[in-house]
Chains A and B, each alone.
Chain A
Amino acid sequence: MSALWVRLRSWWRAVTGRRRLETEMEEEIRFHLEARAADLMLEGSDPRDAMRKARLEFGGVASHKDAMRSSLGLRWWDELWGDLQYGARILRKSPGFTSIAVVSLALAIGANTSIFSLANQLLYARLGVPHPEQLRLLTVIGDEHSAVHSSWGSRDSIPGGGARFDSFTYPIYQQLRRENRVLGEIFAFKDTIQANATIDGSAQAVQLELVSGNLYEQMGVRPALGRAILPSDDQAPGTGAVATISEGLWERAFGKAPDAVGKVITVNMTPVTVIGVNPRAFTGARSVQNSPDIFMPLSMIPLVKGELGQSGPLLSNSKLWWVQLMAREKPGVPLEQSRAALNVALSAAINATMTVAKDDTMPRLELEDGSRGLNFNGRQFAQPVHILLAVVGFVLLLACANIANLMLARSSARQREMGVRLALGAGRGRILRQVLTESLMLAAIGGSVGLLLGFLGRTALPKLLLNSWEREGMHVPFDWRVFSFTAGVTLVTGVLFGIAPAWSATRAEIGTAIKDGGKASTKQRKGWSGRTMVAFQVALSTLLVAGAGLFLRTLINLNAIDVGFRADGLVLFDLNPPSKQYPAPKDVALHARIEQALRAVPGVEGITLTDIPLLANSQSESDFNVEGAPETKEPHGEGSGAMETTVGQDFLSVMGIPIVAGRVFTQQDAEAPQRLSIVNQALVRKYFPNQNPIGRRFSMDDSKTKGRSWLEIIGVSADTRYSNLQQEPPPLHFDLYRQSKDIGGVTYIVRTRMKPDAIVPSLRAVVQGIDRDLPLMDVRTQRQQIDATMLQERVFASLTAAFGILALALACVGIYGIMAHAVSQRTNEIGIRLALGARRGQVRGMVLKEAGWLTAVGVVVGVAVALWLGQLVKSMLYGLQPSDPASLVGAAVLLIGVALLAGWVPAMRASRVEPMEALRHE
């Protein structure tokens, strides 16, 4: 070990002090020669002869010096340095080749690194707690008749009927926790509640997560500062006014001041003491990507959320399923056994806490993987991210094919050079090493540019997934493993395809290579691998271009949709009055007051509000029972009722939705005892076919409800798109908010000719004049709101279009490279043809035909694969089929056009060959 160290040190000294070493060697040898010459003279030699004799005895100075350098381990270093310089010269000499290779490497590495990092973060990253793999998320699967009637949480329909819920009632949670013997202690949380917080006098919108007292302890999280929330904080409802805050909020609101702990902030008007700051890695139990701002004990939920509907306080409510549960696996207890035991406990808890109706069925408990929290993103983005992964995977393949192609073409062009070097005595290993050095240099340049692109993509990509008005998205850590993988793949490709031809070249007879023997004969067999590579590239490009076509046309189709209202000149913002301070009906009165005040703001041409903004991916559906008509049998099925929106009186005129029959709301309607409604044409078609709906009444309650509330239809509006662009206008009725009992948080809509930035300050001033602690949230225009619903389509269209163009460019380069190479190899064959009377047009045609053939094969394969893979993206398309002729034919035509263009230059060069010159060349 120490011997190695000594050598390394000596080597390092030699490398770094190279100049000194050389002079010392020189001096040492000179001393030897002169000392020897002096001795020879003493022995009686002629002074003039002595030096010559000394030199003769010494031997070749240069070769001994070389041996001395070699003794210091400098030889391989010098050779490497030489290789590097030679490689750099070669790369500089063909800038076209170098830049194409570097760019394709860089783009492939960059694109793959950023997309894979994103995918890793979205789909596979785990919560920042110790042993996240032990965490289990408790969920409930119920059929259509399950005992879960009302829930506040996520509800996913299961194909084949039924639904998956991620929440429980609080009494069931408490009983499960007591009965549980099979898992670690069950802990509970309620994900992201929007709230208004006042910190140091400034109001801001924050996200809350409410947690059970044992959550920190069970998850194994220790706060970075202060203390965690403890079981003693989570006692009687309404007690435990303490909070831990995220590192993000600590930085944003407190500037990372250590005295933040102990400060009192208000959350929805309730004073709360900050007791701790979470470590950066801890993002709560909900998701891995971003953390809620404030964590409070579940016992505080009555103060921040109040009641939901008319069902009583949340913590004692036995009907509403809302609280989310997790637990750690117990070592040694099989999952199956835990699930069976907890299922029994769940049924017992349901029977003990709820009144179960006769035809209700027991829901089934599942223990899902909880290592990613509730994992909304994982489930929402799984399909699009996998498609993107496939696309960048294709790009990587394409880049590898391109590199391989370029390397093949180049090394066959360099056969002669290698032949010469072999003939001059270079070893085969030495030549291979030279080629390897060059490949590695290319890979290193491409890799570093790719690394840069990957870094940029890492910051740019999450922004693409963000709505334009949102503050901060998720943080995507740069994934070194992904980078090394992609860099490794491209490296290996480059090295393999650089070395393989060099290997066969060095095996060839030296004479053959120098004479360039094979030139006159046809190159059919030798060019085979290059040709396959080009056909492969064309096929991949066709696939990517066709995919880009599908997504672009989807985006165009979506943009061409008539939404049914005037989307320009509308500014939207949300107001969320806390229900503790504004319990119903105070919230309705507050909104009426704000609406009135905003109407007077200069620049406001119209003002209204709604609980469900249009085209914001939100919807509210309820039963629709027409008075005097038979009641619908299945009250709970989806699509059996009508969509509803609770709005201000001017909603239709502000939005620019035409009224086709009857009248709009008036100022007097708000005070009228009879509740009024305007329905759209789709609703008339469904519930009043060939009838006049005006004056008819309907109810959203079913017949069993006592004191059913009836609404009278006073007008019919034109159809509009409702929750998203893709969905046809559903049956929809607009109800007046001032006639409803409660409304809570709403979206205000302002029609103005002013820029949002110009008008929002005066709007904010008016709102704060009414309630200082009420922040304007999510200020955006209606256009931005609509764009947000097309986010995924837009991201897809832009990314696939970018990759499609990249693919086209790579294919173009590939075809050009292989054809130019073929033409230069066949110069004398072409010369002979011309000399024998072939016309130049024929020669041109010959070359173009070859390019055309390669392309045709590639295009046919590409289209076939596109047709097959298209089925996988069917659900992401709008207004067209995966077999969309425009996209497929378009891609094919584009590819053939590009191929002929790329083949044109070599074809022209071939037709300009001078027969005499070509033959003399031999």
Chain B
Amino acid sequence: MAKQVDLMQGTLEMLILKAVSLGRLHGYGVLLRIQQISGEQLVIQQGSLYPALYRLEHEGAIKSAWGESENGRRAKYYALTAAGRNQLSAETERWNQMAGIIKTILRLTSADLAEAQS
């Protein structure tokens, strides 16, 4: 099992959107899917998932409906809305841009710097 990392602040909502974009899920399912696709490397405080879900629904990025779970129980399912899809792609782009910039900065060596100055 790989080393686990804590979730970076502000990324939970993006992850939820991504998880839900792959098909509708109930709250516990969102948790499972994020853990699954992260290869069990991310630690999510389970309870904090719900305020984030509610905030996303409040903002109209996801919508919810009650349905039946795989084991026949009543569960609340979340699905991505059109607005949520836009939000996800915007945030993905922003994240990639940011990650790229940070990666460039972190990769910088003194040799690169001297080269750039000459």
Interface positions of A (Cβ within 8 A of B): 3, 6-7, 10-11, 24-25, 27-29, 31-32, 34-36, 38, 57-61, 63-64, 67-68, 70-73
Contacts and interface: CB of A to CB of B under 8 A. Distances in A.
Contacts of B45: 59
A68 B50 contact: yes
Contacts of A7: 58-60
A59 B48 contact: yes
Contacts of B75: 28, 31
A67 B46 CA distance: 13
Nearest to A36: B28
Residue of B50, B54, B74, B75 with most chain A CB atoms under a 10 A cut-off = B54
Residue of B47, B59, B76 with most chain A CB atoms under a 10 A cut-off = B47
Contacts of B76: 24, 27-28, 31
A341 B75 CA distance: 90
B26 A31 contact: yes
A209 B27 CA distance: 81
Residue of A11, A34, A68, A72 with most chain B CB atoms under a 10 A cut-off = A68
Interface string B68-82: 010101111000000
A61 B47 contact: yes
Given A24-B76, A72-B54, A36 B46 contact: yes
Contacts of A59: 45-48
Contacts of A63: 47
Nearest to A5: B60
A64 B47 contact: yes
Contacts of B74: 27, 31
Question: What 5 A-B pairs have minimum CB-CB distances, sorted nearest first?
Answer: A59-B47, A67-B51, A6-B60, A71-B54, A64-B47
23 contacts: A3-B59, A7-B59, A10-B60, A25-B50, A27-B76, A31-B69, A31-B76, A32-B27, A32-B28, A32-B46, A35-B28, A36-B28, A38-B71, A58-B46, A58-B47, A59-B46, A60-B47, A61-B47, A67-B48, A67-B50, A68-B50, A70-B51, A71-B55
A638 B75 CA distance: 99
B57 interface: yes
Given A6-B59, A58-B47, A67-B50, 5 more contacts: A7-B60, A28-B50, A31-B69, A32-B31, A61-B47
Contacts of B47: 58-61, 63-64
Contacts of A25: 50
Contacts, number: 71
A3 B60 contact: yes
A28 B47 CA distance: 11
Residue of B26, B31, B50, B71 with most chain A CB atoms under a 10 A cut-off = B50
A252 B54 CA distance: 64
B89 to A, nearest CB: 17
B1 to A, nearest CB: 14
A92 B82 CA distance: 51
A57 B46 contact: yes
A16 to B, nearest CB: 15
A821 to B, nearest CB: 47
B51 A68 contact: yes
Interface of B is mostly: helix
Nearest to A32: B28
Contacts of A71: 51-52, 54-55, 58
B100 to A, nearest CB: 28
B18 to A, nearest CB: 19
A29 B59 contact: no
Interface in B85-113: none
A36 B46 CA distance: 10
Contacts of A58: 46-47
Residue of B26, B58, B69, B83 with most chain A CB atoms under a 10 A cut-off = B58
Interface in B30-72: 31, 45-48, 50-52, 54-55, 57-60, 69, 71
A58 B27 CA distance: 12
A7 B60 CA distance: 7
B98 to A, nearest CB: 23
Contacts of B83: 3, 6
B50 A64 contact: yes
Contacts of A34: 73
A64 B27 CA distance: 14
Nearest to B29: A35
A204 to B, nearest CB: 68
A281 to B, nearest CB: 48
B27 A28 contact: yes
A774 B59 CA distance: 78
A31 B53 CA distance: 15
A59 B46 CA distance: 7
B62 to A, nearest CB: 11
A879 B71 CA distance: 100
Given A71-B55, A71-B58, A35 B46 contact: no
A72 B52 CA distance: 10
B54 A68 contact: yes
Contacts of A3: 59-60, 83
A29 B60 contact: no
B59 to A, nearest CB: 6
A772 to B, nearest CB: 79
Given A7-B60, A27-B74, A59-B45, A35 B69 contact: yes
A31 B46 contact: no
Contacts of B73: 31, 34-35
B13 to A, nearest CB: 11
Contacts of A28: 27, 50, 75-76
Contacts of A60: 47
B30 to A, nearest CB: 10
Nearest to A31: B75
Nearest to A34: B73
A71 B59 CA distance: 9
A32 B78 CA distance: 14
Nearest to A28: B76
A599 B57 CA distance: 93
A287 to B, nearest CB: 59
A919 B28 CA distance: 64
A582 B105 CA distance: 112
Residue of A32, A57, A61 with most chain B CB atoms under a 10 A cut-off = A32
B66 to A, nearest CB: 8
Contacts of A61: 47
Contact of A31 (B28, B52, B54, B57): B28
B36 to A, nearest CB: 12
A28 B66 CA distance: 10
Nearest to A38: B71
Given A35-B28, A36-B28, A29 B58 contact: no
A493 B55 CA distance: 39
Contacts of B59: 3, 6-7
B28 A10 contact: no
Contacts of A31: 26-28, 69, 73-76
Nearest to B45: A59
A10 B46 contact: no
Given A31-B69, A32-B28, A36-B28, A10 B58 contact: yes
Given A7-B59, A24-B76, A72-B58, A29 B50 contact: yes
A848 to B, nearest CB: 62
Contacts of B31: 32
